[in-house]
Amino acid sequence: MKNFFSELSHYRRFTKKTLDEDKKIVFYAEHAGYYPNFEGIIEELTNKRKHTICYITSDPNDSILKTDNPRIKTFYIKSLLAFLMAFIKCRVFVMTLTDFNQFHLKRSVNPVHYVYVFHSMVSTHMMYLPDAFNHYDSILCVGDHHMEELRKYEEMKGLPQKQLVTGGYYRLERIYDKCKKYLRTPSSEKYKVTVLIAPSWGKGNILESFGELLVAMLLDRDFNVIIRPHPETVKRTPELLDAIKEKYGDNKALTIESSVTTDDALLKSDVLICDCSGVALEYAFGTERPVLFLDVPLKIRNENYRELGIKPVELFLRSELGVIVSPEKMESVPERIETLILEKEKYGERISLLREKYVYVFGRSSQVGAEHILDRIK
């Protein structure tokens, strides 16, 4: 009830007390974890271009609500969001929300330009539902794979062409910059191999299939182990993490990092263990370190993804970014990790070249995204 009255106050402040001039550009995030995808563009717009923006979040604990940036006007709106969006008056509305206009969140009855910002580097046609991006006016594409997939889908379905922008991926740049800084920072701690486990969520994921076994093998090898569960795993199946905590919680070599708003786990780890999650691309391209992929069943939300005739980037890049290990050969994981670390320089060089090939405007995504948004309000 307290949150509802707070939300009602924010709703009134947005609709009644915020100047139209300050509502030209609106960002929306479902929860705090999405802010890192907007951060670069927002800093470019507010700090460098001196524009005011509105930021709506459906997370009452989102730290953005306490920002001291006077050019960011923040609002907590959740239960009233569908009503607000249906009638919102702004020039540009920026989101990471897939399936927009498919369910309860609809386009405004007023003329609004909707911009999509990717929250993952994966392809558009396997891990997302069909028509997930149809109702956006423009999309900030991470790389050629997004551009090719979206154009092919529009052609197949007879859809009008959206404005596709060579947008890049700010979150990757943030990880890369932090990693370089981390490597330059002296450490007094004795070196010990650190392995990060960061799987996707859903049926048959790594934690569900053999989480305890994997943790046991890595700890027995005297590795530091960091588990970074997907937010949906924390929300939907917390018992998976509880079982690991109960069994290994007293082991100081094990850390469970529940927040995805920080990149610390990515910076500290020597190798990532993953399935087919987008974090594998962020980790490899951001740290230039290898990935061990466990070949569990794929997370497929569009059963007809093969109709596009394009292999998803998260599949064909796996063998380039590291090694793929079958669950039947789980016992080989510790040895494969040690081999990856021995070959880290080789992987680093290869990953750097792949990043140049598959990621647009690396290092300049914030400027490109901000410029695109500002062009829409001229």
Structure tokens at 215: 């943790």
* Residues 135 and 203 placed together within one structural domain of the fold: no
Amino acid letter, 268: K
Q: How many domains does the chain have?
A: 2
- DSSP class of residue 117 equals E
Q: Which helix (H) or strand (E) holds 43?
A: helix 35-43
What is the pLDDT, as a whole number, of residue 1?
63
Q: Which domain does 136 fall in, by range?
A: 2-169+362-376
Residue 195: strand pairing partners:
225, 271
Residue 182 burial (C-beta neighbours within 10 Å; 0-12, 13-18, 19+):
middle
pLDDT, one tens digit per residue, over 109-161 is 999 999 999 999 999 999 999 999 999 999 999 999 999 999 999 999 999 99
Q: What is the mean pLDDT of residues 11-26?
A: 98
Residue 273: give its domain's CATH number.
3.40.50.2000
Quick one: 97 and 151 in the same domain? yes
DSSP 3-state of 159: coil
% of the chain exceeding 90 in pLDDT: 84
CATH number for the domain that contains residue 74: 3.40.50.11720
Distance of CA 205 to the CA centre of its chain: 18
- Residues 99 and 271: their CA atoms lie apart, in Å, by 33
Encoding tokens for residue 162? 């959206």
Note whether 48 and 140 are same-domain residues.
yes
| pLDDT tens readout for residues 208-251 | 888 899 999 999 999 999 999 887 877 888 888 888 999 998 99
The verdict on 192 and 341 lying in the same domain is yes
Q: Which pTM was predicted?
A: 0.95
